[in-house]
Amino acid sequence: MSEITDCQLEQAGYQKLSAPLPACAYDVLDEVLDSVVQENFRRRRNSTRYAIRNAHLAVPALRPLLEHGALVELARGVLGQTVALVSATLFDKRPAANWFVPPHQDLFVPITGTTDDLRWTNWSIKAGVQYVEPPVEVQRELLAVRLHLDACPGVNGALEVVPGSHRERLDEDAVAEFAEKAFEVCPAGPGEVLLMRPLLVHRSRAAKLPERRRVLHVVYSAAVLPKGLEWT
């Protein structure tokens, strides 16, 4: 794998690694995810299946690969040796399930337990899993590792980001104010990895090619949780 540049992650909030995931690690993850039954996927209003939220919980064979494999080693290269798995989401764009994701920051995390710390806000339950918005200090210690399982050129729903927008939590109006020219497209090939801070403003367009575009989005944390809380 290519060397991680802390300076680029710090300044831009993201970095695409120049070398893909080793073939052996990619093949194992691809095999596990390709065998997932359709019932695990979330449905859109038209009943098409498009994503698996909390794939680390829904797909038992996936979790050990995320906690002990190549992806967590990439996270350790940024966050340090003590990291925890926070979440994993499998996105699967294809002709029958294709959509535009508007600009946003990833503010919420799945969590178990409770805390008296009032900085943890906006508690909710989604598909039986508890979510919360952690304080910004915790959000800054999160890192998303995005593994592209299929080719993701710019015309096929590639991630688009606003460099440098990860330094603070923004309200919806501030996110909506970014001009079109502020976004940079992040195309990627199968097995390629992009690291990003979840507070980075990002979006993705509907794919224009009649091909699948699968991305495994894994979040790790170096934060010390308050008493009473645990990652899922």
| Its pTM surpasses 0.85 | yes
46: confidence class by pLDDT, cuts 50, 70, 90:
very low
CA distances from 198 to 146, 185, 202 (A): 11, 16, 9
Express each pLDDT in 149-202 by its tens digit: 999 888 878 999 999 999 999 999 999 999 999 999 999 999 999 999 999 999
Q: Is the pLDDT of residue 43 over 50?
A: no
User: Domains in the chain, please, with CATH?
Assistant: 9-226 (2.60.120.620)
CA 85 from chain center: how many Å?
Answer: 12
CB neighbours of residue 225 within 10 Å: 17
4: confidence class by pLDDT, cuts 50, 70, 90:
low
Dist CA 156 CA 185 (whole Å): 11
Among the listed residues 57, 58, 21, the one whose alpha carbon sits nearest the alpha carbon of residue 49 = 58
**In this structure, what token pair is assigned to residue 20?**
């893909």
Express each pLDDT in 59-81 by its tens digit: 999 999 999 999 999 999 999 99
**Residue whose tokens read 């992040």:** 186
CA 100 from chain center: how many Å?
Answer: 16
Q: For the residues of 64-132, what is the DSSP string, one character each?
A: HHHHHSHHHHHHHHHH-S--EEEEEEEEEEBTTB---EEEE----EEEEE--S-TTSEEEEEETTEEEE
